Amino acid sequence: ISDDSSFYGGHGIVGAQVPLGCGIAFAQKYAKEEAVTFAMYGDGAANQGQLFEYICLWDLPSILVCENNHYGMGTADWRAAKSPSYYKRGDYVPGLKVDGMDAFAVKQACKLAKEHALKNGPIILEMDTYRYHGHSMSDPVGAHTFTRDDISGVRQERDPIERIKKLVLSHDLATEKELKDFFINLNIDMEKEIRKEIDDAIAKAKDCPMPEPSELFTNVYVKGFGTESFGADRKEVKAALP
């Protein structure tokens, strides 16, 4: 800046100046300048956000469900957000934090959310849940910080199916033996059934022929007006889009 006034001027895109101001503050911190930046915006620019400010204004009957498993690819939630309380993000949109591993809690929350959304407008449901495995094959070693003990602990205490089993037992709805037999049969039959369904679907998909080359040009538009479209070599491969 030529005259050292540290005034970066105005900006033509409403609302964009806020992260830019944060970037300047970032640079000040990086250089350890002990200085601050004022990023200024009006009530108009405050609505640049596309979510909460807007949907709340029009009372859209939407339920925002945040499935929080505490990891975004390789990055833990506390490394990605100052406040990982996603249910509190809404300001004028109310939010509920729900134990996402408890089937009954989830059911009740959804019932309540639907009633609310239809009557009052948007609501956030943050479903607290757990990721048993890493993100993908390309995770570096040690990316997933949950230990095997952590994981088996969660399976014991919070696994949705285990919990229902415990509830059934503690309310004497069935004996241990009845449950065991039930589960054995259920697991065997259900597992067999599910496995068959999946295997059938895979076989069907694999047997399915690859699409015809003409499929390259289908569904580009609903209404193509007969416009021409081309393959890699436009003199060789072309089609009229219906």
Partner 1 sequence: MWGILRRSAVDGGGFSASSLRRTRFSLVSARSYAAGSKEMTVRDALNSAIDEEMSADPKVFVMGEEVGQYQGAYKITKGLLEKYGPERVYDTPITEAGFTGIGVGAAYAGLKPVVEFMTFNFSMQAIDHIINSAAKSNYMSAGQINVPIAFRGPNGAAAGVGAQHSQCYAAWYASVPGLKVLAPYSAEDARGLLKAAIRDPDPVVFLENELLYGESFPISEEALDSSFCLPIGKAKIEREGKDVTITTFSKMVGFALKAAEKLAEEGIGAEVINLRSIRPLDRATINASVRKTSRLVTVEEGFPQHGVCAEICASVVEESFSYLDAPVARIAGADVPMPYAANLERLALPQVEDIVRAAKRACYRSK
Q: Which residues bind partner 1 (CB under 8 A)?
A: 1-2, 8-9, 11-13, 16, 18-28, 30, 72-75, 79-81, 138-140, 143, 210-211, 213, 215-217, 220, 229-237
Distance (Å, whole) CA 97 – CA 185: 36
- Residue 178: CB minimum distance to partner 1, A: 47
N-term to C-term CA, the chain: 56
- Residue 143: CB minimum distance to partner 1, A: 6
Angle at which helices 160-170 and 103-120 cross, to 10°: 110
Nearest to 95, CA basis, from 45, 55, 48, 49:
55
Nearer to partner 1, 44 or 140 (CB): 140
Cβ-contact 28, 37 below 8 angstroms: yes
Nearer to partner 1, 81 or 201 (CB): 81
Nearer to partner 1, 62 or 229 (CB): 229
Sign for the CA dihedral angle at 26, 30, 33, 34 comes to: positive
- Residue 79: CB minimum distance to partner 1, A: 6
Distance (Å, whole) CA 182 – CA 225: 60
- Residue 19: CB minimum distance to partner 1, A: 3
Exposed (0-12), middle (13-18) or buried (19+): which is 93, by Cβ within 10 Å? buried
Nearer to partner 1, 7 or 171 (CB): 7
- Residue 159: CB minimum distance to partner 1, A: 27
Nearer to partner 1, 36 or 176 (CB): 36
Nearer to partner 1, 79 or 196 (CB): 79
Nearer to partner 1, 42 or 211 (CB): 211
Distance (Å, whole) CA 181 – CA 21: 64
What are the backbone dihedrals phi and psi of residue 125, each rounded to the nearest 5 degrees, phi first?
-115, 115
Cβ-contact 221, 229 below 8 angstroms: no
- 70-85 burial code (b ≥16 CB/10 A, e <16): ebeeeeeeeeeeeebe
- Residue 216: CB minimum distance to partner 1, A: 5
- Residue 210: CB minimum distance to partner 1, A: 5
